[in-house]
């Protein structure tokens, strides 16, 4: 367990005290916040003091609800940036797997479509096969399965991964504070750079009304005989190390965090139609998450008078796991550049 202090005890520090390492506040402890904090420590070669400040920690974040399928989904319109962030994340997952970590594997399956789609990001995947008519006919389980793609991607279980990143952050001298920030004025001049990874929280904290919740309800089940994912316009069966995740509602501007039993039944029925052997599945748990959806991911530096520089990294929609490491590296580069620029002005 980490030492979690509940208040700021920082001495006021300015950059003029060049002997002290720059203090970086990372707001948010979902997959975006913890991966950004780790990337900052790595790129700034630990010559920084990173403090994660968050209201909720794993396993109580949106990130913990995700199945961790690596596939851009509700990721906004910056398709080229999203594709590059996905590519960098896949490289990261391969490294993570090579260390023997659990909760990350290659996984193959079917994406059945009502309207034909062969997005560019499929070039990052393996064994991609656009199904021909007879193959579609053999796989289709319901009206609307007019086209299909078979491919191999990866999954990265967020809860295990967040724990992995957090342990490394603490080993590197990082700090953790559990606290809801009502206004960034609370941070005063305690930090030299603020990194905003608050997801949907940015709607209030940074007055960004372009970020909206897209409510997703899932059912975790056990059904070991199912070994391929199956996705269509309305439902999905995804695979983790020791359970399947049945989804997948996507209700924009819905904030309800209570599980809806009728919706759960619909999710189960729809996925059983796609994969009949799911009728033997054992229900494990039900979960809700509010995807932080925005027209584009906001990853940029903001300079506000009387505030330290703010690096925003939020609004990852249904793709926060898929693009996390590419975004973390870009965030860390912005932090490093900011530190170097400020030192050169001293
Ligand atoms: C059902 C579902 C399934 C999904 N499946 C996938 C998938 O298979 N693959 C994929 O890539 N993505 C998936 N996603 C999307 C993914 O979960 C999100 O994109 C990702 O979790 C966003 O990460 P985040 O760290 O920005 O947000 P969060 O995990 O929500 O973390 C935000 C953090 O900021 C903190 N915070 C917010 N406001 C404040 C404040 N004012 N003060 C202090 N702290 C604050 C919170 O406490 C939390 O620690 C899924 C999402 C859902 C809902
Ligand atoms: N093509 C899809 N429906 N992919 C959804 C995969 C799960 C996910 O990202 C989410 O639910 O946000």
Residue 15 is predicted with a pLDDT of 46
Alpha helices in the chain (DSSP H): 31-43, 79-98, 133-139, 158-171, 202-205, 261-274, 320-344
Q: Is 54 helix (H, G, I), strand (E, B) or coil?
A: strand
The set of protein residues with a Cβ atom below 6 angstroms from ligand 2 is 67, 69, 71, 73, 216, 231, 236, 247-248, 291, 318
- In the chain, residues under CATH classification 3.40.50.720 are 1-103+157-211+294-346
Query: What letter would DSSP give residue 69?
Result: B
The residue contributing the CA closest to ligand 2 atom 5 is 73
> In testing the pocket of ligand 1, which one of 36, 37, 55 has its CB within 8 Å of the most ligand atoms?
55
What is the whole-number distance in angstroms between the Cα of residue 61 and the centre of ligand 1?
Answer: 6
> In testing the pocket of ligand 2, which one of 67, 148, 229, 292 has its CB within 8 Å of the most ligand atoms?
67
Written as six digits, the tokens of 119 are 């997005």
ipTM attached to this prediction: 0.99
Q: Is 282 left (phi over 0), alpha (psi -120 to 50) or beta?
A: beta
The residue contributing the CA closest to ligand 2 atom 12 is 318
- In the chain, residues under CATH classification 3.30.9.10 are 118-153+213-293
Written as six digits, the tokens of 322 are 């898929």
What is the whole-number distance in angstroms between the Cα of residue 36 and the centre of ligand 1?
Answer: 13
Ranges of the chain whose pLDDT falls below 70: 1-18, 46, 346
What superfamily would CATH give domain 1-103+157-211+294-346?
Answer: NAD(P)-binding Rossmann-like Domain (3.40.50.720)
Statement: 118-153+213-293 belongs to CATH 3.40.30.10: no
**Residues at the annotated binding site?**
62-63, 67-69, 198, 236, 291, 317-322
The residue contributing the CA closest to ligand 1 atom 26 is 199
**Tens digits of per-residue pLDDT, 242-251?**
999 999 899 9
Give the whole-angstrom CA distance, residue 323 versus residue 197.
Answer: 14
Residue 3 is predicted with a pLDDT of 39
- Are 218 and 177 contacting, i.e. CB atoms less than 8 angstroms apart? no
Written as six digits, the tokens of 38 are 């780790």
Q: Provide the CA 120 distance to its chain's centre, in angstroms.
A: 21
- Are 85 and 327 contacting, i.e. CB atoms less than 8 angstroms apart? yes
Q: Which residues have a Cβ under 8 Å from the Cβ of 68 and sit 6 or more positions away?
A: 103, 155, 156, 157, 158, 161, 240, 321
Q: What number of other Cβ atoms are within 10 A of residue 179's Cβ?
A: 15
The residue contributing the CA closest to ligand 2 atom 8 is 318
Task: Report angle CA 98, 322, 39 to the nearest 5 degrees.
Answer: 65
Q: Which helix (H) or strand (E) holds 235?
A: none
| Residue whose entry in the numeric block shows the structure tokens 């748990």 | 285
Residue 20 is predicted with a pLDDT of 81
> In testing the pocket of ligand 1, which one of 27, 29, 30, 67 has its CB within 8 Å of the most ligand atoms?
30
Dihedral sign, Cα of residue 183, residue 254, residue 221, residue 145: negative
The residue contributing the CA closest to ligand 1 atom 17 is 63
List C-alpha distances in Å: 29 to 24, 98, 292.
14, 25, 14
Global pTM value: 0.95
Q: Is 311 helix (H, G, I), strand (E, B) or coil?
A: strand
């Amino acid at each position: 367990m980490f030492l979690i202090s509940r208040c700021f005890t920082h001495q006021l520090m300015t950059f003029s005290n060049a002997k002290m390492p720059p203090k970086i506040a990372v707001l948010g402890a979902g997959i975006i916040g913890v991966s950004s904090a780790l990337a900052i420590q790595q790129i700034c070669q630990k010559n920084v003091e990173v403090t994660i400040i968050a209201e909720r920690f794993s396993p109580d974040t949106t990130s913990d609800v995700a199945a961790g399928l690596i596939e851009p989904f509700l990721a906004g319109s910056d398709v080229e940036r999203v594709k590059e962030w996905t590519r960098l994340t896949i490289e990261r997952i391969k490294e993570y797997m090579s260390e023997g970590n659990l909760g990350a594997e290659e996984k193959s399956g079917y994406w059945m479509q009502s309207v034909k789609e062969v997005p560019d990001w499929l070039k990052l995947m393996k064994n991609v096969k656009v199904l021909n008519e007879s193959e579609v006919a053999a796989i289709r389980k319901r009206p609307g399965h007019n086209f299909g793609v078979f491919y191999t991607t990866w999954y990265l279980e967020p809860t295990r991964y967040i724990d992995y990143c957090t342990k490394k952050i603490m080993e590197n001298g990082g700090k953790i504070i559990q606290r809801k920030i009502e206004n960034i004025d609370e941070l005063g001049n305690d930090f030299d750079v603020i990194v905003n990874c608050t997801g949907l929280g940015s709607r209030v904290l940074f007055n960004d009304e372009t970020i909206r919740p897209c409510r997703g309800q899932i059912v975790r089940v056990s059904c070991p005989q199912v070994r391929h994912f199956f996705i269509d316009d309305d439902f999905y069966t995804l695979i983790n190390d020791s359970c399947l995740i049945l989804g997948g509602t996507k209700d924009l501007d819905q904030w309800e965090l209570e599980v809806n039993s009728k919706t759960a039944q619909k999710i189960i029925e729809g996925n059983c139609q796609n994969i009949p052997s799911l009728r033997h599945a054992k229900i494990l748990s039900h979960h809700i998450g509010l995807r932080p959806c925005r027209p584009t991911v906001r990853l940029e530096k903001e300079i506000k008078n009387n505030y330290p520089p703010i690096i925003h990294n939020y609004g990852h929609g249904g793709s926060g796991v898929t693009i996390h490491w590419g975004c973390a590296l870009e965030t860390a580069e912005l932090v490093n550049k900011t530190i170097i620029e400020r030192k050169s002005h001293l």
